[in-house]
Structure 1
């Protein structure tokens, strides 16, 4: 009877530990210091940044960011790790720049972040992906240790002592039909987009007697868009460069022709916002 009781007790402890581990979603494994530094280097963390670390463990990433002049906070489901993080921040002398809280990463408010860091699991990253794209401002940087986001390819990938580090920049949403005028004539640009990649683009510019221009380059970098377009015979080249603010692109267009070059302001509006 006594041996049966001991077996049941051990089984109960194992079941409790398994349940607790499932509740915490991700077991705590410390990120090596050299990986922490490269993660922050990759994101260019410094003064003016607000860093949020998802699954912050013992707080080392947020603390290292604070030592670079950033501010921020970490979230973790384990209360003991949160307490340890607070203690570590105090000992590092940065407790006036950081905070830590017990919180589920799915309930975290990311909107103030300029940088998101994480060491979670691919499945969790994938679940968070639509929240990142919806809630984070274009230009926000995301760095993940070891785990990627499946079909959202990183902007960069580095490796430190066999540890993969993935880096993304939140892209502006530029998909749709955009309108502006050139020499009082309408220009229409249509864009298809997958994450930070422009997968299809066309520009129809009747003002320059070309139904459709040849696109030489089209890129998104955070809230910036750059487009290089030429007419069929290559005698005229337009270089558009602007910042995207929801349904408006504001910037400049360089116009290069055989007779010379000029720089003009450029503003395009997405079709849904055009007032007739």
Structure 2
């Protein structure tokens, strides 16, 4: 993907047949328990657990859309919080990802394990009974969620702190409060959101373009970036800034020259990854190589 495609995502609708999810009632669990002694133990344990999120299955077309939006592929590490019957985790495993599904309900874990075995992906997916707030997520390339708005917002600080810049978060139905999504789609009448965990770029930077030094000050609110700059004591305008995970694009203008920069953020360093674009100004050659280092 070219870094020059830094434009706002367009909403898209995907039309598909909805697979209606059915809630498992207490009566249903008791019926299973009569047929399966292990299930009876699970029912007893489950009845003593206070669930943060009710179990509602995600329709299969939505699962497929979540995989596409999260760009799940072979070799990815995927963590599904509130994994239920395992359908999201299993879909990721079928694409070659290594997957962890987490649910606090032992009955859902038992069901998910059975489904994984039936689908032949037990070597690529693990289901674990634990509180989702206790699950380490730092190594996840993709985090999938179908929880509740309040739970998403409680998870938000952990996502922003622990997950690597550029990793993806895909949520069925619920957003992240004031952290706007990078993409939103309607799939089979359901809303699905995508975020790229933003790099931390706030601070004072020294940008070198050839022999030219630009002092750049950036502020940040999630993926929203603002800035001011100076070159040789002359104020410059920082405009049209866009942060997508660890990728950044912005325009520098001094009233005569307008140049577009594309870079990748790596902690306290930004490395140019595309030639600088001369958007307007005199026709002298543009120094294409650039980099920036954070001072504070």
TM bin, normalised by shorter chain, reads 0.7 to 0.9
Instruction: Tell me if structure 2 keeps the 8 A contact 1:254–1:261.
Output: no
In the comparison of the two structures, how many residue pairs are matched? 250
Distance, in Å, in 2 between the alignment partners of 1:65 and 1:224 is: 25
Counterpart of 1:8?
none
Residue 264 of structure 2 aligns to a residue whose secondary structure is strand
Instruction: Tell me if structure 1 keeps the 8 A contact 2:210–2:289.
Output: no
Q: Given the alignment, which residue of 87, 95, 98 partners 1:71?
A: 98
Q: Which moved more, 1:33-42 or 1:259-268?
A: 259-268
Q: Given the alignment, which residue of 203, 211, 215 partners 2:229?
A: 203
Q: Given the alignment, which residue of 189, 195, 204 partners 1:162?
A: 189
Larger RCO (CA within 8 A; separation ≥ 6): 2
Counterpart of 2:176?
149
Q: Given the alignment, which residue of 229, 234, 245 partners 1:222?
A: 245
Report Cα offsets for 1:223-253 as digits up to 9, x if no partner.
01111222213xx233222111111111256
Residue 262 of structure 1 aligns to a residue whose secondary structure is coil
Q: Given the alignment, which residue of 282, 287, 296 partners 1:258?
A: 282
Residue 289 of structure 2 aligns to a residue whose secondary structure is strand
Superposition pairs for residues 1-276 of structure 1, below 5 Å? 20=47, 23-182=50-209, 184=211, 186-198=213-225, 200-206=226-232, 211-233=234-256, 236-251=257-272, 254=276, 256=278, 258-272=282-296
Distance, in Å, in 2 between the alignment partners of 1:52 and 1:232 is: 48
Distance, in Å, in 1 between the alignment partners of 2:295 and 2:242 is: 20
Instruction: Tell me if structure 2 keeps the 8 A contact 1:55–1:74.
Output: yes
Distance, in Å, in 2 between the alignment partners of 1:20 and 1:173 is: 43
CA-based RMSD: 2.1
Distance, in Å, in 2 between the alignment partners of 1:34 and 1:185 is: 52
Instruction: Tell me if structure 1 keeps the 8 A contact 2:209–2:289.
Output: no
Report Cα offsets for 1:152-184 as digits up to 9, x if no partner.
111111112321111111111111111134564
Distance, in Å, in 2 between the alignment partners of 1:241 and 1:186 is: 17
Distance, in Å, in 1 between the alignment partners of 2:259 and 2:190 is: 43
Distance, in Å, in 2 between the alignment partners of 1:201 and 1:80 is: 51
When residues 183 and 95 of structure 1 are mapped into structure 2, their CA distance, relative to the original with a 3 A threshold, is: closer
Instruction: Tell me if structure 1 keeps the 8 A contact 2:84–2:103.
Output: yes
Question: If you compute each CA radius of gyration, which structure gives the higher value, 1 or 2?
Answer: 1
Q: Which moved more, 1:212-221 or 1:44-53?
A: 212-221
Instruction: Tell me if structure 2 keeps the 8 A contact 1:217–1:229.
Output: no
Runs (4 or more) in structure 1 with deviation over 3 Å come to: 19-22, 180-186
Instruction: Tell me if structure 1 keeps the 8 A contact 2:210–2:287.
Output: no
* TM-score, with length taken from structure 1: 0.84
Distance, in Å, in 2 between the alignment partners of 1:96 and 1:183 is: 51
